[in-house]
Amino acid sequence: MSAPRPRVLLIVAGGVAAYKALELVRLLDKAGVATRAILTKAGAEFVTPLSLGALTHDTVYSDLFSLTDEAAMGHIELSRSADLVVVAPATADIMAKAAAGLATDLATTALLATDKPVLMAPAMNVRMWEHPATRRNRAQLEADGVGFIGPDSGPMACGEFGDGRMAEPEAIRDAILARLKPGSAAPAPVGLMAGRRAIVTAGPTLEPIDPVRFISNRSSGQQGYAIAAALAAEGADVTLVSGPVALRPPAGVRTLHVETARDMLAACLEALPADVFVSVAAVADWRPAETAPQKLKLKGADAAPTVSLVENPDILATLAQPGPLRPGLVVGFAAETQSVEMHAAAKRARKGCDWIVANDVSGDVMGGAHNQVSLVTAEGVERWPRLPKDEVATRLAQRIAEAVNQSATVADA
């Protein structure tokens, strides 16, 4: 008996890109994947249930309160009958509803009721995509474990240009196939980083002078938290080693809270082995040579007190050292205000890491929502556009997944 075909539940929401969903169904069919479709009311303004049904060879579901639909398949069963739920196009509206956990129609009810992995292919106007509300919703969905493919950049149906075009059907098909384990009788959906272990450091470190005073810096931890969430959304087993920040730990990530650089190093070494180490923390380069056990009395002293400093261990350089426990891919960050790429390349060599994400911090990066980075690898420098930090995280997680998938897992070793 031949193995059953993997099944995708495809939710087609309202947007000009809905026509590409028809091509996606055709490509999936060719790749041996069966598709069952939910068409939202707005989606039906762009493609007809008839064309979608003809390509899926199945009933197209659209109404939560339809007796005929419910008789054919109840909405809970519908949401669980597939190996993977795909939303293409995913509009700003459906992303907002899913992020909020609303169940206002069949599509959003299925998203709330499903126990299967969800992949979204966003499509919307560039301003809607860049709106803080959509950013928030995407970050929430990622933290909830939803995977994303695209959007792409380019000219849009609305006449504008920018990020927001739905990924091409071929790219969505490939992302779907990567999530469906090939050849297994009961195909288990997997993320691109499933079975991989990652350690991420984030935030500042805090180096005490005495019980009430310390040396630290302005790092918010946002970028590191977003990278940990993006790797987890790709299925990685992530340990986030975080300095003191005001952020909620990402869902599905093991978060260890530390204060000093030495504690951060110890927690990272403890978390080994790993396939990838991403060093995003703004580790204090120096710490007070001694921590006074009692609060220093400064008033009435004859001279200003002197705090002598000693160098902290370099966590990135330590984990990048060759040896059996070195993660296969070691990624550092470099905060620079000038000659960004030149300094980053030098830092990459000095620290012994594989990649450096060079951060241009000459603007409002520290504590801000955006980041301007260049990826410095052995092959050269890739300059990325100025992007929201969660978008930098998703791109980096995708690049890491590609690189790591070319090597064996630490479990295989």
Figure out which of the listed residues 70, 130, 210, 285 binds ligand CTP, where binding follows CB under 6 A: 285
> Which DSSP state fits 108?
H
Report the nearest approach of ligand CTP to the CB of residue 281 (Å): 5
Measure the CA–CA gap between 9 and 84, rounded to whole angstroms.
Answer: 6
Exactly one of 314, 341, 360, 391 binds ligand CTP (CB under 6 A); that residue is: 314
As measured in angstroms, the least distance from the Cβ of 407 to ligand CTP is 21
Please, are residues 103 and 133 in contact by the beta-carbon 8 Å criterion? no
Cβ distance to ligand CTP smaller for residue 163 or 275: 275
Report the alpha-carbon angle 30-31-33, nearest 5.
100
Choosing from 332, 345, 355, 391, the residue that interacts with ligand CTP (CB under 6 A) is 332
The amino acid occupying position 329 is L
Q: Judge whether 158 counts as a catalytic residue.
A: yes
What tokens does 324 get?
A: 């059996």
Which uninterrupted H or E stretch holds 350?
A: helix 340-351
Crossing angle for the helix pair 222-233 and 132-143, to the nearest 10 degrees: 50
Residues 187-206 that bind ligand CTP (CB under 6 A): 201
**What is the Cα–Cα distance from 167 to 401, expressed in whole angstroms?**
18
Q: With CB under 6 A as the contact rule, which of the stretches 97-105, 120-128, 161-169, 327-335 interacts with ligand CTP?
A: 327-335
Q: Which of 279, 371, 372, 374 binds ligand CTP (CB under 6 A)?
A: 279
State the nearest-atom distance from the C-beta of 367 to ligand CTP, in Å: 16
Min dist CB 201 to ligand CTP, Å, is 6
Task: Give all strands (DSSP E) within 245-339, no chain letters.
Answer: 254-257, 276-279, 286-288, 309-311, 329-336
> Which of residues 198 and 316 has its CB atom nearest to ligand CTP in the complex?
316
Q: Is 376 in the site for ligand CTP (CB under 6 A)?
A: no
Q: How far is the CB of 332 from ligand CTP (least distance, A)?
A: 3
CA 11 to chain centre: 22
Do residues 82 and 36 make contact, with C-beta atoms less than 8 angstroms apart?
yes
CB of 351 to ligand CTP, least distance (A): 6
Going by C-beta distance under 8 Å and a sequence separation of 6 or more, which residues neighbour residue 220? Answer: 203, 245, 246, 247, 366, 367
Q: What is the DSSP letter of 117?
A: -
Q: Does 335 bind ligand CTP (CB under 6 A)?
A: yes
**355: contact with ligand CTP by CB under 6 A:** no
Strands 254-257 and 237-242: parallel
Torsion angle (degrees, nearest 10) of CA 361, 366, 372, 378:
70
- 84 or 261, CB closer to ligand CTP? 261
By CB under 6 A, is residue 167 in contact with ligand CTP? no
Cβ contacts of residue 385 below 8 Å, gap of 6+?
372
CA distance linking residue 241 with residue 243, whole number of Å? 7
Binding segment toward ligand CTP, per CB under 6 A, in 24-32, 105-113, 125-133, 331-339:
331-339
# binding residues, ligand CTP (CB under 6 A): 15
**Taking CB under 6 A as the criterion, which residues in 206-265 touch ligand CTP?**
261
Question: With binding defined as CB under 6 A, does residue 312 bind ligand CTP?
Answer: yes
User: Is 88 a residue that touches ligand CTP (CB under 6 A)?
Assistant: no
Residue 404, SS3?
helix
The Cα 187–Cα 355 span in angstroms is: 34
- Beta-strand relationship, 286-288 and 207-208: unpaired
Q: Which residue among 281, 330, 365, 393 contacts ligand CTP (CB under 6 A)?
A: 281
User: With CB under 6 A as the contact rule, which of the stretches 75-83, 275-283, 287-295, 379-387 interacts with ligand CTP?
Assistant: 275-283
Active-site annotation holder among 157, 158, 325, 413: 158
Choice between 312 and 374, CB closer to ligand CTP: 312
Residues with catalytic function: 158
Residues within the interface to ligand CTP (CB under 6 A): 201, 261, 279, 281, 283, 285, 312, 314-316, 332-335, 347
